[in-house]
Amino acid sequence: MKIIKHFYILLIFLFAGQLAAQTSSLKFNNIEYKIGILLPFSSDGSDKENKNSEALLDFYQGIKIALNQLEKDGFKCKVNVWDINSKDSIQLETLYKSNDFQSLNVLIGPISQKHIGQLAKRLKGSKVNWVSPLRSLTIPNTISSLNFFSPDSLRMRGLGYSLSDQFKTHKFCLITDGSSQSRKDANMLKFVLQSLSKSRKISIHTFNGTNLSPALPSKDSVICINTFTNQMAKVVLAKYAAGPISAAKNAPLKKASFIVGHFNWYENLSLSQEVDESKIIYPAINFINLNDSSTSEFTKSFLDKSFNEPSRFGYQGYDQMMFLGYGLMFSGDNFLSAVPNSNMVGLINTIRTYKIGKRHFNIGVRLISLANHEQKLF
């Protein structure tokens, strides 16, 4: 699959220095890793529980497809799967004392903050890599952990990294509506973008409903980043990006200007004939490129095994297990610390880890284009 090629290239690059000191050729380690999956697969029969159960079964099916691929590539593991519901506090105590649980290298789940709290007391000081797979949960800083879905407070940081990767020479104009949250997000983006390139030109502009103050530059290649959810600035900014080229020096570079929307713009997508979509970039989480051959291959494998098409949870299970599996193969138990700024382009999410103490958060953001009425990665 294409995703696997992406990942090989990424890890070869990231670990080249580390491996060169250990071996003359790139090799996976030969350890059998122990992985535990602790999720509420069963349902009490209610509509809500039935939907949760279906989602988690899809997630697990995605994991199994990834494990099949990883096994072909030399990954060795023993997987234990435990079904736990909201009333299983006593079961957790018994489970923790078992040899299978005590020897885990990776624990995926649970997805309840209550269960996280109960297990955290027992796992304090443990060497296990604890994974929160489907929601942002608070795991103590005493344990190596990875939240695959980071809190909103880290989203803007992830957007800054993604845009910095994509645009090296553009000037960045950060657009606020004057609200405290918008200003906070703009300042975060400015800090991240400036830390990644000291020479980068960055300015902050305030939108008052009709105009921007100060005015946007007329001759630079510009990335305008909107930091508020209301889409009222979309038409104004898009017209600016697609506007006529002046006679000013270097003005033709304005052809390369783009508008980056708030996350809300894609989540609550609204199209207008007034907007040239070729000039808009939508930051997003959970975007599946249905025209990609890797997606087609995964969908076929999923259909063959479960007789239904995967929900987004199936894709998430696959992406996450591929990331964990190759990480373990290349760098063992400490792979999270070894790739503090890794970047994997998966089927549904981009995975880029950001470290705070022993905790790691996925701050990967996808950049989406809707040009020519086709949704695709920018």
Q: What is the pLDDT of residue 23?
A: 36
User: In whole angstroms, how far apart are CA 201 and each of 164, 177, 233, 246, 279?
Assistant: 12, 21, 22, 21, 20
Task: Say if residue 346's pLDDT is above 60.
Answer: yes
Mean pLDDT score of the chain, rounded to an integer?
85
- SS3 state of residue 221: coil
Task: Say if residue 150's pLDDT is above 80.
Answer: yes
325 sits in which H/E element: helix 312-331
Mean pLDDT, residues 352-361 taken together: 92
Which amino acid appears at position 24 of this protein?
A: S
The residue among 21 and 247 whose pLDDT is bigger is 247
Confidence of residue 249 (pLDDT cuts 50, 70, 90): low
- SS3 state of residue 255: helix
Confidence of residue 359 (pLDDT cuts 50, 70, 90): very high
Structural domains in the chain, CATH included, are 2-149+290-366 (3.40.50.2300), 153-284 (3.40.50.2300)
Residues contacting residue 18 through CB under 8 Å, at least 6 positions apart:
331, 338
pLDDT in tens, 79-131: 999 998 766 666 788 888 888 998 999 999 999 898 999 899 888 878 899 99
Give me the numbers of helices (H) and strands (E) for the chain, helices first please. 12, 17
Of 192, 190, 241, 180, the residue nearest 212 (C-alpha):
241
64 sits in which H/E element: helix 47-72
Of 140, 101, 95, 98, the residue nearest 117 (C-alpha):
140
Of 328, 374, 339, the residue nearest 104 (C-alpha):
328
Distance CA 44, CA 27 (A): 46
Mean pLDDT, residues 349-354 taken together: 94
Interior CA angle at 172 toward 170 and 177, to 5°?
Answer: 155
The residue among 177 and 273 whose pLDDT is bigger is 177
Task: Say if residue 367's pLDDT is above 80.
Answer: yes
Mean pLDDT, residues 323-335 taken together: 91
The arrangement of strands across the sheet holding 376-377 comes to 212-213, 202-207, 171-176, 222-226, 258-260, 280-284, 366-369, 376-377
Give the helix ranges, DSSP H, for 73-213: 89-96, 99-102, 113-123, 152-166, 180-196
Mean pLDDT, residues 59-84 taken together: 94
Task: Say if residue 291's pLDDT is above 50.
Answer: yes
pLDDT in tens, 272-290: 788 888 889 999 999 998 8
User: In whole angstroms, how far apart are CA 297 and each of 122, 124, 253, 292, 309?
Assistant: 41, 41, 40, 9, 12
Task: Say if residue 337's pLDDT is above 80.
Answer: yes
Task: Say if residue 20's pLDDT is above 60.
Answer: no
Distance CA 344, CA 146 (A): 15
The residue among 358 and 30 whose pLDDT is bigger is 358
Task: Say if residue 364's pLDDT is above 50.
Answer: yes
Mean pLDDT, residues 125-143 taken together: 91
Give me the residue label for tokens 């007789």. Answer: 307
- Could you tell me the two tokens for 17? 């220095």
Task: Say if residue 17's pLDDT is above 70.
Answer: no
Backbone φ/ψ region at 272: left (φ over 0), alpha (ψ -120 to 50), beta: beta
Backbone φ/ψ region at 109: left (φ over 0), alpha (ψ -120 to 50), beta: left
Q: What is the pLDDT of residue 142?
A: 87
Classify residue 125 by its DSSP letter: T
Which amino acid appears at position 367 of this protein?
A: L
Of 189, 185, 137, the residue nearest 163 (C-alpha):
189
For 159, other C-beta atoms within 10 Å of its C-beta total 24
pLDDT in tens, 201-230: 999 999 998 889 999 987 777 888 999 888
Kindly state the greatest CA–CA separation across the chain.
Answer: 75
Mean pLDDT, residues 255-273 taken together: 85
Torsion angle (degrees, nearest 10) of CA 282, 286, 291, 292: 110
Q: What is the pLDDT of residue 310?
A: 95
Q: What percent of the chain has pLDDT over 70?
A: 87
Residues contacting residue 367 through CB under 8 Å, at least 6 positions apart:
162, 163, 166, 260, 281, 282, 283, 284, 377, 378
Confidence of residue 77 (pLDDT cuts 50, 70, 90): very high
Task: Say which range, 13-17, 155-159, 287-291, has the weakest mean pLDDT.
Answer: 13-17
Mean pLDDT, residues 305-325 taken together: 95
Q: HSE of 8 in the Cβ direction (CA atoms, 13 Å)?
A: 10
